[in-house]
Every structure is written in C-alpha cells, then in structure tokens.
Amino acid sequence: MNGVRLWPAVLTGWALAAAVLLIATGVSIYALGFPDPDDALRLLEVRDWLGGQSWWDVGQHRLFAGDLHWSRLVDLPLAAVIAVTQPLLGQAVAERAALVIVPLLTLLAVLALVAGLTRRLAGIQCARLAVLVAPLSVPLLYQLRPMRIDHHGWQIVLALAALYLLTGKPALRTGALAGICLAALVTISLEGLPVAAALCGIAALAWALDPARRSQLLGMVWGLAGGALLLHVATRGIGYAAPLCDAVTADWLLVLLTAAAGTTLATLLGTAPLLVRVASLGLAGAAAAGVLLGIAPECVGGPFAQLDPLTRAIWYENVSEGLPVWQQFPSWAAMTVGLPLVGLAGSVLAFRRSEGETRAQWAIVIAALAAAFLLSLLVMRAGATANAFAVPGAAWALFAMLTRARAIPSPLERTLATAGALLAVSPGLVAVALLGMPKAQAMRAAQQRYETAGRPTCTDFSDARTVGTLPRGMIFAPLDISPDLVATTHHRAVASGHHRNMAAMHDVIAAFIAGPEQAHAIVRRYGAAYVAVCPGLNEPELYRARSPDGFWARLERGERFAWLEPVPMPGSPVRVWKVIG
C-alpha cells in the first residue's frame, strides 16, 4: 500500500470542499464582505505595499493611530496573486482573486499535511478518511475559507508542517525543517509561541526518553532560533530592535537563542539517567525564562497586559477569539473542543494498538494534540490548530467505526451505525444543527428593538460603506467598522482594534460612553469631519449597555447636539453626523 498515491484523494477532497465554500461565500466575495476587521486591514496593507509603501513599514497610515505588529510574510502570497492577475483582470477583480485563491491554497496545504501525517501513522485508508474529516471541522473551515486572509490559516499550516516533520525520521534535517516552520510561525505572530514551545518541549522529552533523537532536537531548537533571527532581519530589519511584547524582537531572539544553547548543553548528558536528562532540560527552560524576566519582565503578562482598564473591559474582554472556552457561546465551545476530544480518544486507542516507531509517532501526536487542546481551552483562537492536530486520531476512529459498521448484517442497523460514525467525527456540525450559529446576545436584542421601532439596523460592517459618498474626511467611528471604512472608502479613521494604539482606542471608547461635552472635546482633538456609527452591531451595543446616558446612547435616542449636524444616508442603516463646531 506504500506505493498507492494519496494526491488524487487530497485533490478530490479539496475540490469538493472548495466548491462548497465558494458557493457559501459567493455573495461575500462579490460584495467584498470581510469576515473580520483584520481581513479588511490586511488587504489594505497589501494594497498600500504594492502601491509603494516600504517593505519595512507595516503601519496603516489611513488610520490616525495605525501602528501594527503584523508580518510581511502573510502579505507575500496575496501580493503575488494580485501582481500576477492585475494586468489581466484589473485591480478590483485581482484583489478578489487573491481573497479566494490564497485561503483555498492554505486549505489544500492543510488537507495534504493531515493526509500525509495520517498515512504515516495509520495507512492509506485512514489518510483518505482524514481528507473527509478535516473539512467537517467548523473552526478549520472558518480560518481557511475564501475572504479569510489574515494570518491564522498560515499558522495552522506551519504548525501542522512542524508536527509532520517531528513524526518523521529523527534526523537533523527533519528537526531543522520543523524549527524553520516554527520560526515562520512565531514571526507571523507571536501568539504562535506557545505551540512552538510545546512542540519543542515534546521533541526534548522524546530525546530524554530516546537519546538517539539528539540530532532532531538540536536541529529543531537551532532551526527555530536561527530561522527567527534570519526572518526578523529579512522582514523587519536590524533597526527593529526595541523590546516589544507582541512581535519577535531582540529580546525574544535572545530568549530563543538561550533556550537553544541550554538545550544543546543538556543533550551532552545523553548517557545520564533519565531523571538527570529531564532535569537538565528543565534548567535550559528555566534559563530562557530567566532571560525573559531579566530583560523584558513586562512581556510575561503578554501584549495585552498594558491595556488600561476601560479598553480591556470594553474591547479586549469582548474579543471572543482571545477568551477561554468557558466564556464562549455553547455552540462555539462545542465546535472548538468536539473534534479534539474525538481525536484524543482515537489517538490513544491507536497508540495502544500500535508498536515500534509507529507507537512513538502516535505518542508525539497525542502530546501535541493535548497541548494544543489545553491551549484552546484558554484561548479559543488556538482551537483551529487543535482541530487540525486531531484529524489523524479522528480518522483512525472513523475507520475503526466504519469497519465495525460494515460487519453488521442488518442493512438498517448498518446504515444507522455508519451515520453515527460520521456524526461522531463531526461534532462541530452537530453543534451547529442543535444550537445554531452563535450570535451576540447584544446584537440580537438590538435588532429586535430596532425592528419594533421600525428603524433599520446594520447586520455587518459593510453596511457603513455608504459614507464613501461623502467628501473625504476623518471619521470618528467605532473600532470594529474603521478597518472596513478605510479599506473600502476614501476616508480616514481614528483607530482600529489593535492594541499598540491603545491611547487612541481608549479615546474612541471613552468618547462614545462619555457625556456629549467630553465626547466633543475628544472628537475635535482628532480633527474628525464626521461621526459615524452602524447601529445594531455589537460594539455600539456595548457602549449603550455600559453608559445608558452616554454620548452614543443619547445619539441613538435621537438627541441633537449643536456641534453635530445629521447627514441623511438614504437606503442605509448607518447613522452619520457632520462635525460643525
């Protein structure tokens, strides 16, 4: 069976999944409906780079406060598609081509990697089932669907590639390649560091149990440290050296180099007892942590530790992807943890029934999946990676269940058992069917209130784009709609939901919940020409709930202020006021 090609199954599964996704997102593609504010800002960043903005400058200058910590690595495939297709298709169609092609390429990469990993662990038949299981994961499809061009899809691909390499032949080459994948992962976003640390820790424990794995471990830690250094120089430049907690900078590079050096020294004890080897690895980790505490103690709390209480309460604590699973809507929580639990069960059973090198490979996958699953419980955005790591175990479990189902004599019972097996490996879809797609309670209540009053309400960010018909100016708008406004109109805006600009973020939030006089002072300070709000969306509802007599709540009720002049927007639910004083 080793000679049987897997690519036909991968390409067939990808084509079917891509077709379904294209049908489901066709309207969004045509209307340029972004799934998330970050996707709109990512497209604008690529557009500005192709328009002449420096490679080293990833700031968004259409925002008054537009400092970003993003990486150019994610911009490269988008820019390549736009640059190749623009002469033939024009700018608008070329951008839509990139918005479709790049996410679907990440989907193909994920399917190829989970199929290859599953084949290595469980054979060709389970690998084919892995191609079926992966597209049944809602968290995976959410990050790999058309229009989703932010960095999360590439992080899934790189984490999977590192795991695939880690389960390969324990050699310097596989370790170094895995380390380079992890270096790209943390360069794209430092939020990938926990996954990178977990995979390096698994490689280290594998060496402690089997010192013959030394070359793979050293290749991995030095590939990570060296790769991060080279990518830092290539994408940010040597001048990008100030200590920062949200991106790879000199302080983080020193931490990685310390960990690599400490691990190298620890592996010199390959003939020592197991406990000594484990303790030496612990000392290496402690040395790296000590360096971080010594040179950048503020980074221990993460990049959001410096947020002021107001911004944290109104913005950060309402960004669902950064919250733990127990603070999510029940359906999202079920979609996040369902497949990893199935995958863990299947992986453990497969481990118990395997032997030799395959048993060791399953152990690595179990450890990686357990780490990613625990991380996803704390931070929901890690759920997609956990779902990807769960596919081999879920595919093994599905194959075992289908094998037993086929042996059932009764056609009816056999059909029911087969259906049950498919439902068991698609808990996310079951959760959607039973609980529905989650929708913010505040938005649901707002839309009901607006319907009762006979007033239109916004359903997504794009409803605010009609402000593009107004003369160009600075718009004072909520954080969530500002990226879409600057990406799709000629206007500027004050700030988006990106933590480096916490002072401007605070001012936007403070203005909408403050009294009209304080709001007037803040709006004037930013030189805004307009105030614009899309009623019914989650952010304005948070402002209204926080301050029932605040600036936005009073505007929503129809109060007039001498320094604002209402601007009619026929046919649009967005509410706009011109600043006249």
Among 301, 268, 302, 265, residue whose Cα is nearest residue 285: 265
> What angle, rounded to 10 degrees, do the helices at 193-209 and 250-266 form?
10
C-alpha span between 143 and 437 (Å, rounded): 16
pTM of the model: 0.93
Output phi, psi for 460, to 5 deg: -155, 180
How deeply is 320 buried, as exposed, middle or buried, from its count of CB atoms within 10 A (0-12, 13-18, 19+)?
middle
pLDDT score recorded for residue 452? 67
**Beta pairing class for 474-476 and 564-567:** unpaired
Among 215, 217, 209, residue whose Cα is nearest residue 360: 209
What number of other Cβ atoms are within 10 A of residue 401's Cβ?
A: 18
pLDDT score recorded for residue 177? 98
Residue corresponding to tokens 């998330």: 36
> Are the C-beta atoms of 14 and 108 separated by less than 8 Å?
yes
Residues ≥6 apart with Cβ < 8 Å to 266: 204, 277, 280, 281, 283, 284
* Residue type (1 letter), 161: A
pLDDT score recorded for residue 442? 53
pLDDT score recorded for residue 447? 72
pLDDT score recorded for residue 441? 52
pLDDT score recorded for residue 243? 67
pLDDT score recorded for residue 117? 97
C-alpha span between 187 and 72 (Å, rounded): 9
C-alpha span between 460 and 464 (Å, rounded): 8
pLDDT in tens, 390-422: 999 999 999 999 999 999 999 999 899 999 988
pLDDT score recorded for residue 1? 46
pLDDT in tens, 475-502: 999 999 999 999 999 999 999 998 888 9
> What angle, rounded to 10 degrees, do the helices at 383-406 and 91-122 form?
50
> Are the C-beta atoms of 245 and 302 separated by less than 8 Å?
yes
Those residues of the chain that have pLDDT short of 70 are 1-3, 241-243, 437-446, 452-453
